[in-house]
Each structure stands twice: as C-alpha cells, then as structure tokens.
C-alpha cells in the first residue's frame, strides 16, 4: 500500500507549549492529532485509539522499549512505536502517524492519508 501525504504543513503551536514526554491534542484540518516531544524529536499520531475507539492517545504514556520511543494507550495499554505507528503488542494494529517539524518558532504537522 502506498501512503499518500498532503502537501501542506499546518502550524499548530509554539514548541514551548509541548512539555517533554507529555501529549497535546490538536485539530489539524479536521483530524484529531496527538503531538509529542520526546528524546529531542517531535511525533504526531492520530488521537484515536485504534483498539479502544476513543480519542485519548494524547493522554497516553510516553516511554521506550529497546531504545524505541513508544506511546502506551491510556485505555488498554497497547504500546505503539512513535516512529512508525506499529503496535508492539498486537502485530495487526497500527496507529496512523503524521509528519511533524519545528520551523520558524512553530510546531507544524502534515497529515498523512492511510496508514
């Protein structure tokens, strides 16, 4: 499956609004996104928990597993690789990820379609 990416970046917030290892929910072009700053990197994933079906991923627990930055669902504790969105506990489950960057003082997100 080919993943298509939208062509525009949406400014979301200043970098200092993202506390390290804490999530923030944002609405980007009608999509609820969870943003994280951890290990010097920015990550953006869907806020929708693919297992529980609720918009709660921004309240998940940031950590790491074997050096991989992770996010644990606050509902049922499935753990996801923040770099890829792959669930480390359920191989057939994926959390859709998006592109995130820091530019001109702002965190910006570019939505991805598909998984």
Give the pLDDT confidence score for residue 70 in this predicted structure. Answer: 98
Is the per-residue pLDDT at 1 higher than 60? Answer: no
Give me the CATH number covering residue 63.
2.102.10.10
This model's pTM is above 0.85: yes
Give the pLDDT confidence score for residue 26 in this predicted structure. Answer: 97
For residue 115, tell me if it sits in a domain: no
Residue 59, CA distances (Å) to 3, 8, 62, 81 in order: 26, 27, 9, 16
For residue 2, tell me if it sits in a domain: no
Q: What is the pLDDT of residues 101-110, one digit of tens each?
A: 999 999 999 9
Please answer whether residues 105 and 18 qualify as being in contact, where contact means their C-beta atoms are separated by less than 8 angstroms. Answer: no
Q: What is the pLDDT of residues 57-101, one digit of tens each?
A: 999 999 999 999 999 999 999 999 999 999 999 999 999 999 999
Give the pLDDT confidence score for residue 6 in this predicted structure. Answer: 47
Dihedral of the CA atoms 89, 93, 98, 100 (nearest 10)? 0
In which domain, by residue range, is 32 found? Answer: 10-110
Residue 70, helix vs strand vs coil = strand
For residue 62, tell me if it sits in a domain: yes
Q: What are phi and psi of 16, to 5 degrees?
A: -70, -10
For residue 94, tell me if it sits in a domain: yes
Give the pLDDT confidence score for residue 45 in this predicted structure. Answer: 98
Give the total number of structural domains in the chain: 1
Q: What is the pLDDT of residues 48-62, one digit of tens each?
A: 999 999 999 999 999
Percent of the chain with pLDDT strictly greater than 70: 92
Give the pLDDT confidence score for residue 113 in this predicted structure. Answer: 82
For residue 105, tell me if it sits in a domain: yes
């Amino acid at each position: 499956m080919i993943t298509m990416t939208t062509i525009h970046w949406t400014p979301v917030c200043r970098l200092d609004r993202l506390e390290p290892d804490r999530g923030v929910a944002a609405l980007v072009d009608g999509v609820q996104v969870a943003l994280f700053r951890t290990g010097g990197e920015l990550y953006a994933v869907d806020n929708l928990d693919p297992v529980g079906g609720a918009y709660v991923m921004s309240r998940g627990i940031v950590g790491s597993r074997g050096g991989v930055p992770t996010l644990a669902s606050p509902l049922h504790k499935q753990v996801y690789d923040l770099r890829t969105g792959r669930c480390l506990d359920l191989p057939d489950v994926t959390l859709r990820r998006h592109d995130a960057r820091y530019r001109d003082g702002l965190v910006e997100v570019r939505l991805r379609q598909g998984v």
